[in-house]
Amino acid sequence: MSDRITIIGAGAWGGALANLTQINGSEPTIWSRNCGQILSESIDNRVAIISAVSMSGVRAVIEQLTGFIQPHQIIVTATKGLDAQTNLTPAQLWRNAFPNNSIVVLSGPNLSLEIQQGLPAATVVASQDSVAANKIQEIFSSPKFRVYTNDDPVGVEIAGTVKNVIAIAAGTCDGLQLGNNAKSALLTRGLAEIIRIGQYWGGKPETFYGLSGLGDLLTTCNSPLSRNYQVGYGLAQGRTLSEVLGDLKGTAEGVNTTKVLIQIANQHQIYMPITVLVDRLLQGQITAQAAIISLMSRDRKSEY
């Protein structure tokens, strides 16, 4: 019998995930706010529930499902972001609401449009429950989508979340036409920031060099398909943040993620100079050109 699953979110990412599960014969039900169905009824007899909504919608979805999810159902979070009210990750929100369920994080270098075009890609499914991770690996794996398991859901989730901030900086770099040398330096030092705050959250260092870390960073920071990249590129062209966001098809999670990261970094004295400048750029406190000058003129220091 094929696996019956529910995918919450009918955007480009939710649609791409649905297409992937169908390759292996799964029967996905796609739910959205406008589908006319009651969410709690859409998860009956489902093996897994995949959340592919934007960060702003996660808590609302959880509230609608409270009291309806059964302990045997696997919850998969495919959202990259941080909750502005609690500073929690999507997986932490799901775990707090459903402590008896297995939570799996799905994250990697996965541009929705390329997946929908049938181009090859790879991703990571991470959970402390290896049986649940293996099941989700089975559901999504196909000749064009390679799925790896991982036992570090915190690291996988934080890597995919924080890289969106670095992608804004990367788009700014390209928008200013600063060249490959500057771009490589930016990504390398950006990865250092991801690892630094990722270890604060409890992530394993090696996770950040994998698909969900370095892999996702390279993809998001080098593709115009990335909404976060588009934000940085637009700001570098002299456009306002509201103008750039108004033209985006979907949510650039890095914008809100930056605000939360700054709060956490300040509270725990975590050194994140790129994130600080991205925050100032988003708030209109500094120009893209001035941000680059600030990065280049910092105090001399050892690389490690």
Instruction: Report residue 154: phi and psi, to 5°.
Output: -65, -50
Order of strands, sheet of 74-77, starting from the edge strand that comes earlier in the sequence: 27-31, 4-8, 48-51, 74-77, 103-107, 121-126, 145-150
With beta carbons less than 8 A apart as the criterion, state whether 104 and 76 touch. yes
- DSSP letter, residue 281: H
For position 292, what pLDDT does the model report? 86
Domains of the chain, by residue range, sit at 4-151, 154-296
Give the pLDDT of residue 27: 87
Cite the active site residues.
163
Q: Which CATH number fits domain 4-151: 2.60.40.10, 3.90.180.10, 3.40.50.720, 3.20.20.80?
A: 3.40.50.720
Return the CATH architecture of domain 154-296: Orthogonal Bundle (1.10)
**Average pLDDT per consecutive 10 residues, the chain (304 residues; last block may be shorter):** 87 94 89 92 95 96 96 97 95 98 98 95 98 97 96 97 97 96 95 95 96 97 96 96 94 96 95 96 94 84 78
pTM for the structure as a whole: 0.95
